[in-house]
C-alpha cells in the first residue's frame, strides 16, 4: 500500500502559467480533498470530492479546478498561476464519505510562483 | 464563516513537563475534532480525535477533552519527550468540510 501519493514534490512556475498537481490513493477511499498550507494559517480546504464524478468547493477555491474521474485520482489544476498561490499543497483521503473521520495526507507539493 | 482559533502559537516546555494546547470553534454543528501532528517537512498525521458525543479520550500520554457548551477542546500531552517537538493542529469537522486551527509549535527542551 503506497497510501496517498503526490507529484511533483517541488515546482516553480511563472505568473500566468498553468499546471496540474497529481494526487492518487490506493486505499479505495471515497473522500478526497486538497488543502493549501501557508505559514501561520494552518491548512485551508480548496476542493473536495466524495466519489468519482462528485466535487465541490472548500474555503479557498478561486483559481483552482478539480475533477474526479476515478476513485483513485484527484488532480488539482491551477488555471493561471499567481504569486499568491505560492504554498505547500497537501492532498488527503478518508475512507468514509465525509470529512468526519481521519484524513490520510500525501507528502505535499511545494509550489513557488514567480 | 466558520473558524477555529488555536492557542498558544508557540509553546516551550522542559522534557517531562506537561503541554496543553487549546482550541475554540465557531460552528456548534461540528461533530468531529481531530488533532494532527506535523514534523518539520513532513505530512500531518492524526494523533488523537474525539467525537461530539464524548467528553474525554485518552491514548497513553495524550488526552483530548471537549466542552460542547463552550465550543472548546484541548490537547494534553504528559511526560513530554524531545520527539514530541512538532507543530500540532486542531480541527473541527462537519459533513464534508474540516476547518483547521493555525497550529501550535511545541518545543520540548531536553
Binned average pLDDT, 10 residues per bin, chain A of 114 residues:
95 97 96 95 95 96 97 97 98 91 97 98
Region B36-56 average pLDDT: 96
Contact A29, A95 (CB under 8 A): yes
Nearest CB partner across the interface for A42, out of B43, B93, B100: B100
Q: Look at strands A19-25 and A76-78 and give their pairing.
A: antiparallel
B2 pLDDT tier (thresholds 50, 70, 90)? confident
Task: Provide, as residue numbers in chain A, all residues whose Cβ is less than 8 Å from the Cβ of B93.
Answer: 98-100
Nearest CA in chain B to A55: B96
Nearest CB partner across the interface for A43, out of B46, B89, B94: B89
Q: What count of Cα atoms within 13 Å lies in the side-chain half-sphere of residue A20?
A: 9
Region B20-40 average pLDDT: 97
Q: Positive or negative, the Cα torsion across A60, A66, A68, A73? A: negative
In terms of pLDDT, which residue wins out, A99 or B90? B90
**Nearest Cα to Cα of residue B105 among B19, B32, B10, B2:** B10
- % residues pLDDT > 90 (chain B): 96
Q: Positive or negative, the Cα torsion across B11, B81, A92, A36? A: positive
Q: Helix, strand, or coil here: B20?
A: strand
**Can you tell me which residue has the cell 467528553?**
B55
Write out residues 52-81 of B within 8 Å (CB-CB) of A.
none
Q: Helix, strand, or coil here: A84?
A: helix
- Retrieve residue A21's grid coordinates: 498537481
- Burial of residue A109 (number of CB atoms within 10 Å: 0-12, 13-18, 19+): buried
Res. B1: pLDDT tops 80: no
Query: Looking at CA atoms only, how far is residue A43 from chain B in angstroms?
Result: 6
- Retrieve residue B81's grid coordinates: 519527550
Query: Looking at CA atoms only, how far is residue A44 from chain B in angstroms?
Result: 7
The span from the CA of B99 to the CA of B30, in Å, is 10
Residue A97: predicted pLDDT: 86
Interface check B107 vs A, CB under 8 A: no
DSSP lists the bridge partners of residue A56 as A48
Task: Provide, as residue numbers in chain B, all residues whose Cβ is less than 8 Å from the Cβ of A102.
Answer: 34, 46, 49
Cis preceding linkage at B8, omega within 30? yes
Choose the mutation target among B98, B102, B103 for the interface with A, i.e. most A CBs under 10 Å: B98
The span from the CA of A88 to the CA of A39, in Å, is 10
The residue length of chain B stands at 110
H helix or E strand, kind and range, residue A13 = strand A10-13
The residue length of chain A stands at 114
Residue A40: predicted pLDDT: 83
Amino acid at each position: 500500500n503506497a497510501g496517498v501519493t503526490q507529484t511533483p514534490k517541488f515546482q516553480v512556475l511563472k505568473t500566468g502559467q498553468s499546471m496540474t498537481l497529481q494526487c492518487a490513493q490506493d486505499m479505495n477511499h471515497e473522500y478526497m480533498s486538497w488543502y493549501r498550507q501557508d505559514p501561520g494559517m494552518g491548512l485551508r480546504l480548496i476542493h473536495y470530492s466524495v466519489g468519482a464524478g462528485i466535487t465541490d468547493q472548500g474555503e479557498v477555491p478561486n483559481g483552482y479546478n478539480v475533477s474526479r474521474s476515478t476513485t483513485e485520482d484527484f488532480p488539482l489544476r491551477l488555471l493561471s498561476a499567481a504569486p499568491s498561490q505560492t504554498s505547500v499543497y497537501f492532498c488527503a483521503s478518508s475512507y468514509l464519505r465525509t470529512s468526519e473521520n481521519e484524513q490520510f495526507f500525501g507528502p505535499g507539493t511545494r509550489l513557488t510562483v514567480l | 464563516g466558520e473558524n477555529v482559533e488555536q492557542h498558544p502559537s508557540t509553546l516551550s516546555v522542559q522534557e517531562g513537563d506537561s503541554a496543553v494546547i487549546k482550541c475554540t470553534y465557531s460552528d456548534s454543528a461540528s461533530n468531529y475534532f481531530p488533532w494532527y501532528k506535523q514534523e518539520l517537512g513532513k505530512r500531518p498525521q492524526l494523533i488523537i480525535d474525539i467525537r461530539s458525543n464524548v467528553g474525554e479520550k485518552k491514548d497513553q500520554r495524550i488526552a483530548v477533552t471537549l466542552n460542547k457548551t463552550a465550543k472548546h477542546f484541548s490537547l494534553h500531552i504528559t511526560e513530554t519527550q524531545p520527539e514530541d517537538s512538532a507543530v500540532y493542529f486542531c480541527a473541527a469537522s462537519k459533513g464534508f468540510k474540516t476547518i483547521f486551527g493555525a497550529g501550535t509549535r511545541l518545543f520540548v527542551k531536553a
